[in-house]
């Protein structure tokens, strides 16, 4: 007898989150509407249909933008700590619904249940961060060269922030953006991945309740759904001063060019091709744990997933043996079963990309230390379950230079000093996350120096995958240069203004210029 959504507890979770069998996919808060074509949400876990969502039509989109631009006028004048209070209430709502929302994330996307809960915890954490930030949106003061003058800088809200998120983190990345944007005084329009629309519907229900309870206007949080065409409406729209887009490099280049053509701002979080350098002074046990989780977590579908392991020749064989032994212990299966380490890929197109990458490695002459393949039989009927693979490879191969969103780890050897390993690490077009495993302080500091890792994230003795919300998240080169989450990432959601105040009865000019009348 097949397992049903009721058996998984998904129907109960959907009910708690206000998600129905067929859902309107467009919302300005508590107002839901739209009768566009339906998007099927099918779980990669077992190919069961979870629900359907109406796509946003052009007419729907215009209604959203009208409500959002109107709401901004009221939202921006609320004191920032009051906006922070709304975000605090949203964080509390997420705490209440962490279990059902985390389960829905796991089932709709295919990541492990613990990762699903962890993603909702990221949302809670960024809300906490944003609440504190709402009392710290600081500017700067500076001395004027003119007597009787004061100069300072301040930050103002931008307006409507457009958010385009990807399937692999269907709710956390939205929260990273929207929690900060809200306390900054912006309103948000969110286009989630068409592969994970139900988690977005659930999140919108939760924030809509908070906004309604506080008698706030429609339009502060908006949801639109659909394919790339819906995203194009937003990237071309001059009413959206900032578009934050997470996804592939190909997509990011299109977004960047489109938004730049109208002199708008874009915040891009794109592909990664992340490496861990393993030196002779590495703790091998720590190395294996970090590399395995980085390579197979979320079935290799994180932008920070470990793709390359660059190992010194002195410890290469030891690391290789330890890794292959660790892979034998991996349990692949239903992500709702917490005994399993690895769930499915998002869909069969991702499986095709995985198989293509393995075939290309073999064409290059690479040796598969742990063979891949698609799993079949009971529990694997969706066709989305694959075996995590390890291949000996060369950094310059075309397939290694690309990002394959799948659990394939490329193992490569370096000799000589650390500079050779850093050159390999930096020798790709992406620049998101990087790590070094070493107990040598000099090697660690060398890796973190100006001539070290060229990535936005550089770690010592932890892997490439996973990031705390307190630090700014993002990468360089073709990763896009954007920064989200912690540190001073909030500044991208605001416009900067320099102010000069003259409190005298004279009007001296800067640079000593004289203009007498």
Residues with active-site annotation:
269, 303
Residues 6+ apart with CB under 8 A from 249: 270, 271, 403, 429, 430, 478, 479, 480
Q: Please, are residues 346 and 44 in contact by the beta-carbon 8 Å criterion?
A: yes
DSSP 119-170: HHHHHHHHHHHHHHHTT----EEEE-SSTTEEEEEEEEE-SEEEEE--SSST
Residues 6+ apart with CB under 8 A from 345: 44, 110, 299, 301, 351, 354, 384, 385, 386, 405, 406
Helical (H) or strand (E) element with 80:
helix 80-96
Residues 6+ apart with CB under 8 A from 261: none
Torsion on CA atoms 159, 470, 231, 185, rounded to nearest 10 = -10
Give the other-Cβ count within 10 Å of 141's Cβ.
11
Residues 6+ apart with CB under 8 A from 475: 269, 270, 272, 430, 431, 432, 433, 455, 456, 457, 481, 482
State whether residue 64 is helix, strand or coil: helix
Quick one: which of 266, 245, 305, 250 has its CA closest to 111? 305
Pairing relationship of beta strands 476-477 and 457-460 according to DSSP bridges: unpaired
State whether residue 359 is helix, strand or coil: helix
Per the document, the length of the chain is 517
Gap between the Cα atoms of 366 and 368, Å rounded: 7
Gap between the Cα atoms of 298 and 27, Å rounded: 29
Pairing relationship of beta strands 430-431 and 433-437 according to DSSP bridges: unpaired
Burial 404-443 (b: 16+ CB within 10 A, else e): bbbbbbbbbbbeeebeebbebbbbbebbbbbbbbbeeeeb
Q: Please, are residues 305 and 433 in contact by the beta-carbon 8 Å criterion?
A: no
Gap between the Cα atoms of 177 and 130, Å rounded: 10
Burial 375-401 (b: 16+ CB within 10 A, else e): eeeebbebbbbbbbbbbbbebebebbe
Gap between the Cα atoms of 231 and 227, Å rounded: 7
């Amino acid at each position: 007898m097949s397992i049903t959504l009721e058996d998984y507890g998904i129907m109960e979770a959907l009910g708690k989150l206000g998600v129905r069998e067929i859902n309107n996919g467009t919302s300005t808060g508590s107002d839901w509407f739209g009768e566009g074509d339906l998007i099927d949400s099918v779980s990669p876990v077992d190919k069961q249909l979870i629900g359907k969502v109406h796509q946003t039509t052009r007419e729907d989109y215009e209604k959203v933008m009208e409500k959002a631009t109107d709401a901004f006028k009221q939202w921006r004048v609320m004191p920032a700590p009051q906006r922070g209070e709304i975000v605090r209430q949203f964080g509390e709502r997420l705490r209440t619904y962490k279990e059902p929302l985390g389960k829905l994330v796991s089932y709709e996307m295919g990541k492990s249940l613990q990762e699903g809960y962890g993603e909702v915890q990221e949302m809670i954490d960024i809300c906490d961060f944003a609440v504190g930030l709402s009392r710290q949106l600081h500017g700067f003061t500076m001395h004027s060269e003119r007597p009787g003058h004061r100069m300072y800088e301040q930050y103002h809200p931008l307006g409507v922030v457009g958010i385009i998120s990807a399937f692999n983190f269907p709710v956390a990345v939205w929260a990273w953006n929207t929690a900060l944007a809200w306390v900054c005084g912006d309103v948000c329009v969110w286009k989630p991945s068409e592969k994970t629309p139900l988690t977005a519907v659930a999140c919108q229900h939760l924030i809509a309740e908070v906004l309604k309870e506080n008698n706030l206007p429609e339009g502060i949080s908006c949801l639109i759904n659909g394919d790339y065409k819906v995203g194009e409406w937003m990237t071309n729209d001059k009413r959206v001063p900032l578009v934050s887009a997470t996804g592939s490099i190909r997509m990011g280049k299109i977004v960047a060019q489109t938004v730049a053509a109208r002199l708008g701002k874009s915040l891009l979080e794109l592909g990664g091709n992340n490496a861990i350098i393993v030196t002779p002074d590495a703790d091998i046990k720590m190395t294996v744990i970090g590399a395995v989780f980085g390579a197979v977590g979320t079935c290799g579908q994180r932008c920070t997933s470990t793709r390359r392991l660059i190992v010194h020749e002195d410890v290469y064989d030891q690391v290789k043996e330890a890794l292959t032994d660790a892979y034998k212990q991996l349990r692949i299966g239903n992500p709702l079963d917490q005994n399993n380490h690895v769930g499915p890929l998002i869909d069969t197109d991702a499986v095709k990309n995985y198989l293509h990458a393995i075939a290309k490695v073999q064409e290059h002459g690479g040796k598969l230390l742990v063979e891949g393949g698609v799993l079949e039989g009971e529990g694997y009927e969706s066709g989305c379950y694959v075996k995590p693979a390890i291949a000996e490879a060369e950094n310059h191969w075309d397939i290694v230079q690309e990002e394959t969103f799948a659990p394939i780890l490329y193992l490569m050897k370096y000799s000589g000093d650390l500079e050779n390993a850093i050159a390999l690490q930096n020798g790709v077009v992406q620049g998101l996350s990087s790590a070094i495993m070493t107990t040598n302080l000099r090697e660690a500091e060398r890796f973190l120096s100006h001539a070290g890792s060229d990535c936005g994230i550089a770690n010592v003795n932890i892997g490439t995958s996973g990031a705390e919300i307190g630090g700014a998240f993002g990468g360089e080169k073709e990763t896009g240069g954007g920064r989200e989450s912690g540190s001073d990432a909030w500044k991208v959601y605001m416009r900067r203004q320099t102010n000069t105040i003259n409190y005298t009865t004279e009007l001296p000019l800067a640079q000593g210029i004289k203009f007498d009348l």
